[in-house]
Structures are given as C-alpha cells and as structure tokens.
Amino acid sequence: MIVIAGRGGQELSRAQRELVTVARRLAGDLGSQVAYLAVGPEAEAAARRAGAFGIGRAVAIELNDASGAVEPIIENLAQGARRLGASVVLLAADHLGVQAGPRLAARLGGSALNDAVDVRVEDGRVIWTRPVFGGKALADVVLRRSPAVVTVRSGAFEAAEEGAGEAAVDVLEAVAVDTAVRVVQREEGRQEGPRLEEARVVVSGGRGLGGPEGFQRLAELAELLGGAVGASLAAVDEGWAPPEWQVGQTGKMVAPDVYFAVGISGASQHLAGISGAKAVVAINKNPDAPIFKVARLGVVMEYEKLLPALIEAVKRELA
C-alpha cells in the first residue's frame, strides 16, 4: 500500500497533488494500491477529497492538539500507516515532512529518505533519486526496510489533476500523546517570509531598479511565490535595501530553485553568491549584461514594464 500522508483540510495542496503523481507511478509499477492518510483538523474532509484523485481508501484521524508539538502528529501518522499496512509513506518535504519523515520511519521500523526528486522501479526495486552535495550530484538510492518513508521535494513532480471518485474513509480516534513540548508563542503570519538562504525563490534587485519603489514590486512578486527578496551590493549601497538582503561575495549565499535577477548586471562578486541557485532568471534591459551568461531564462526589457505583467501572470497562475 502506497500511503500519501497529509494534514487535512478542504483542499489537497499542490504538494499533496504532486505526491499523488508519485504514488500513482509507484502503484502502477509495483501493482499496489494508493491510500490517503490525513492527521489533523479537518482530516476527514481531506480524506474524502482524496477520492477525487482516484484514491479508494483513506484514513482520517481528527487531531486537534493544542500543544503545537509535532509528537502527536507523528504518533498518529504512525497509527494510520500501520492501519493501512503501508509499504511506502509519502510526505511533502515541507516544514512537517522535514521533521516527521525520519521519526515516522523509525516508529514504523522502516527506512527514511528525504527530498526525493525522482523515482523509478527496476527489477521490482524502487530506486529513489535525491540531490546530494548541495545539488552538485544526484544519488540513486534503494531503501532496505519497509515501509519506505519518503519526503518529496516540491516542484519535482507534476501535480495530479482532480477528477471524480469516492474514497472509503476510516475515521480513527486520535491517540493522545503526552509531550513535554509546548509551543508558547507564535509569530503571526508570514511577515518576513522565508529567510534568504533557505528560500526556494529569491527575487533580487540591483541598481537597475533605480530606487526603493522597485523593491516594493519585487516584494510583491516574492510574496506571491513564497520567496524572499535579495539585493545587489549596489542596491544596498544606494540604501534601497537593507544590508541583510545583500547577496554575493560579501553578502549572503543563496541556493533557491529560482533566482530572479532584476536590474543586476551580474558582476562576479554577485554571482559568487548565487552559484547554488538551480536556475537564474535574468531581467535586464542590456542584452550584453553578463548576468545572461549564467541565466537559464532571460528577458531583455525594462523591469518597470515587465514586473507588473509578471505579477499578474503569476497571480493568474496561482488562482
């Protein structure tokens, strides 16, 4: 049984729908079934929704734990996975996945793997691919124990389309976990967004922005994409961006999936900070700017024209 694990809710998130793709592929190759496991508030709603993705079986564990600790979630995920007889448990490699994956594996007596970006079945063996050494290499890995608890990097797989269907949902009682851990304070909302070094998307601006207003545009785009805003030294020097935003030799080293370089020429000192980026998108009015040498996608246009259109396009995409 391939189990997709999630936290419940009215909708399946994009990351969850990507897990559906992985699960379908595996189930096809291994000749097994896909099940859905939801642990959290509104677990049952999510479990029912899973039916629309062709998933026939689901377990919902309604968990409303006030402590904020991850322990009860893990313990109930384990309960659900056991109930479903999981051979593979798929989690999104997000905030929960990062902390729950390995521990769930340990509780189920299985093996863990993080950040899968690909999977295939060869001679009945499941071969997982994950980036290692900061993405400088990819490792093909087989896991020895069952279940395999795997977190999947978002964006690595297509998100499955929703169809129609019904899932048989088992609703289980949550097991209570007495934990010594308690969240006592929470910063509301995502005012700061992710930190530069960790962000999967970084939108950086340079001197080409011509003033602090440009950065508001960048912030808007970054927020839409769940990313962080960066800056070139020139922009920091101009006082349009705080020093903590500086990327490069004397600033931060970033390693996002996408790095937008807007009005940045691409001096080597700046490039020094973005060598870990998977892809650079350069937006510059000068077609000869060196930034295009390292860019995956390039647009030669004044940013004032492109950015509003880009923000609209992204909004449409997200909607």
Ligand X SMILES: Cc1cc2nc3c(=O)[nH]c(=O)nc-3n(C[C@H](O)[C@H](O)[C@H](O)COP(=O)(O)OP(=O)(O)OC[C@H]3O[C@@H](n4cnc5c(N)ncnc54)[C@H](O)[C@@H]3O)c2cc1C
How far is it, in rounded angstroms, from Cα 180 to Cα 206?
Answer: 47
* Cβ contacts of 19-25, under 8 Å, gap ≥ 24: 19/90, 19/91, 19/92, 19/152, 19/157, 20/53, 20/55, 20/159, 20/160, 21/157, 21/158, 21/159, 21/160, 22/90, 22/116, 22/119, 22/152, 22/157, 23/88, 23/90, 24/54, 24/160, 25/119
User: Taking contact as CB under 8 A, which single stretch among the options 53-61, 81-89, 197-205, 209-217 is the one that binds other proteins?
Assistant: 197-205
In single-letter form, the type of residue at position 1 comes to M
Q: How far is the CB of 4 from other proteins (least distance, A)?
A: 19
Which CB sits closer to other proteins, 25 or 170?
Answer: 25
Residue selected from 12, 215, 284, 292 as contacting ligand X according to rule CB under 6 A: 284
Question: Between residues 60 and 281, which has the closer beta carbon with respect to other proteins?
Answer: 281
| Partners of 170 in beta bridges | 59
Dist CA 9 CA 45 (whole Å): 6
The verdict on 114 binding other proteins (CB under 8 A) reads: yes
From the list 159, 207, 219, 278, which residue makes contact with ligand X (rule: CB under 6 A)?
A: 207
When CB distances are held under 5 to 8 angstroms depending on the partner's kind, the choice from other proteins, ligand X, none that residue 138 binds is other proteins
Closer residue to ligand X in complex, CB, 79/246: 246
On the 0-12 / 13-18 / 19+ scale of CB atoms within 10 A, 231 is buried
Q: Is the Cβ of residue 47 or residue 93 nearer to other proteins in the bound state?
A: 93
Residue with tokens 């402590």: 67
- Interface positions, 214-233, toward ligand X (CB under 6 A): 232-233
Total residues interacting with other proteins, rule: CB under 8 A: 105
State in angstroms the smallest separation of the CB of 315 from ligand X: 21
**Residue 234: CB minimum distance to other proteins, A:** 7
Residue from the set 30, 45, 52, 253 that interacts with other proteins by CB under 8 A: 253
| Token pair listed for 273 | 């900070």
Site for other proteins in 164-193 (CB under 8 A): 179-192
Q: Which residue's CB is nearer to other proteins, number 220 or number 257?
A: 257
**Does position 15 bind other proteins by CB under 8 A?**
no
Contact status: 135 vs other proteins (CB under 8 A): yes
Among 82, 138, 161, 173, binds other proteins (CB under 8 A): 138
Residue 197: which residues within 8 A CB-CB, separation 6 or more?
Answer: 252, 253, 254, 255
- Determine if 146 is a binding residue for ligand X (CB under 6 A): no
- Residue type for 140, please? D
Task: Verify binding: residue 245, ligand X, rule CB under 6 A.
Answer: no
User: Which strands sit side by side in the sheet containing 88-92, from one edge to the other?
Assistant: 111-116, 148-152, 88-92, 2-6, 34-40, 57-62, 168-172
Q: Site residues for other proteins, window 256-275 (CB under 8 A)?
A: 257-258, 265, 267-269, 271-273, 275
Tell me 247's DSSP state. B
> In angstroms, rounded to a whole number, what is the distance separating the alpha carbons of residues 90 and 23?
8
Which structure tokens are listed for 118? 């690909």
Compute CA 225 distance to the chain's CA centroid, rounded to the nearest angstrom: 11
Distance CA 77, CA 75 (A): 5
Binding of ligand X by 208 (CB under 6 A): yes
Which listed residue (1, 2, 258, 264) binds ligand X by CB under 6 A? 264
Interface region with other proteins, contact rule CB under 8 A, candidates 27-35, 58-66, 161-169, 195-203? 195-203
Binding site for ligand X (CB under 6 A): 206-208, 232-235, 246-251, 263-265, 267, 269-270, 273, 284-286, 289, 302-304
